[in-house]
Amino acid sequence: MSASLKDTVALVTGASKGIGRAVAELLAAEGAKVVLTARNAELLVEVERGIIAAGGTAAAIPADVTSEHSVSALVLETKRRFGTIDVLINNAGVATFTSVEQTTTDEYDAMMNVNLKGVFLCSRAVLPVMRAKKRGMIVNVASLAGKNSLAGGSVYSATKWGLIGFSRSLMLEVRDDNIRVVTVAPGSVNTGFANKERNDPTIIQPADVAGTVLFALTMPDRVNVSEIDIRPTIPARKGN
């Protein structure tokens, strides 16, 4: 029997659009109280209003996942409003797809800071809450680029390889406290992230990833679905 998400408090990063928005909307529809965070406050409020209009519970709290101070404030405000944090969805991510020679240092820093440091900061901030009650779940949204080599995406791939390694190690660190860590690694997703010119119905949709996250979250506590790869049935390119 699957677990219910009713009244579960879920913190979703990168919730203003794409996969993060789809996950937040689905979790809210399943009864979770969803905290939406991203840097774009205007888009966050739009998502918040949509969830509330549909009968769900949501709170938009803008934050920068690369800032230790901002993440600490985010977690404190979430606890103030909802009392706890049951689920963390580390979804925020950025990417630049170009050769190493053409990748700027600023682009490198942005990818490393959001895709890796942000996951570290958010995970570290919520773990004391989860350890105290001996229950919790962290879902890290990675990519198949973290399992396959990707020409023209060396730095992005490096961040996702690192994220998968971080997730595997974190899972081993926290499992004895009944905290589950799941890595979801999708191939190309139709979010505009790397496929701006494509509107191919065979490409994975954000809702598909959200459904996969929901599957992992609603497994019984005794089950940790540690890694899930999501591939399009008909691949758009190698590595997907």
Q: Would you say residue 239 lies in a domain?
A: no
Q: Would you say residue 240 lies in a domain?
A: no
Over residues 123-138, the pLDDT tens digits come to: 999 999 999 999 999 9
Hey, is 133 helix, strand or coil? helix
Task: Give the number of domains in the chain.
Answer: 1
DSSP-assigned letter for residue 84: -
Residue 231 near residue 133, CB atoms below 8 Å: no
Choosing from 156, 182, 183, 206, which is the catalytic residue? 156
* Mean pLDDT of the 182-186 span: 97
Between 167 and 199, residue with greater pLDDT: 167
Domain that holds residue 212: 9-230
What's the order of all strands across the beta sheet hosting 87-90? 57-60, 33-37, 9-13, 87-90, 136-141, 179-186, 227-230
Q: Would you say residue 151 lies in a domain?
A: yes
What integer best gives the mean pLDDT of the chain? 94
Q: Which two tokens stand for residue 67?
A: 């800032």
* Mean pLDDT of the 162-170 span: 98
Q: Would you say residue 13 lies in a domain?
A: yes
The pLDDT value recorded for residue 90 is 99
- Maximum mean pLDDT: which of 67-81, 139-153, 222-236: 67-81
pLDDT(2) > 50 = yes
Q: Would you say residue 238 lies in a domain?
A: no
Q: Is 108 a catalytic residue?
A: no
Hey, is 105 helix, strand or coil? helix
pLDDT(118) > 80 = yes
Q: Closest by alpha carbon to 11, among 145, 154, 125? A: 125
d(CA 14, CA 36): 8
Q: Would you say residue 43 lies in a domain?
A: yes
The terminus-to-terminus CA distance of the chain in angstroms comes to 32
Confidence of residue 231 (pLDDT cuts 50, 70, 90): very high
* Mean pLDDT of the 160-188 span: 98
Q: Closest by alpha carbon to 188, among 134, 150, 222? A: 150
Residues 6 or more apart from 81 whose CB is under 8 A from it? Answer: 35, 59
Task: Tell me the chain's radius of gyration from C-alpha atoms.
Answer: 17
In the chain, the percentage of residues whose pLDDT exceeds 90 is 88
For 57, phi then psi, to 5°, come to -115, 125
* Mean pLDDT of the 167-173 span: 98
Q: Where are the alpha helices (DSSP H) in 87-205?
A: 105-112, 118-133, 154-174
Model confidence, pTM: 0.94
Give the CATH number for residue 63. 3.40.50.720
Over residues 187-215, the pLDDT tens digits come to: 988 876 554 545 677 889 999 999 999 99
Q: Closest by alpha carbon to 86, among 229, 183, 218? A: 218
The pLDDT value recorded for residue 1 is 39
The pLDDT value recorded for residue 194 is 52
User: Any idea which of 41-55, 76-90, 104-118, 186-200 has the lowest mean pLDDT?
Assistant: 186-200
The pLDDT value recorded for residue 123 is 99
Say which amino acid occupies 20. G
Confidence of residue 143 (pLDDT cuts 50, 70, 90): very high
Q: Would you say residue 141 lies in a domain?
A: yes
Q: Would you say residue 136 lies in a domain?
A: yes
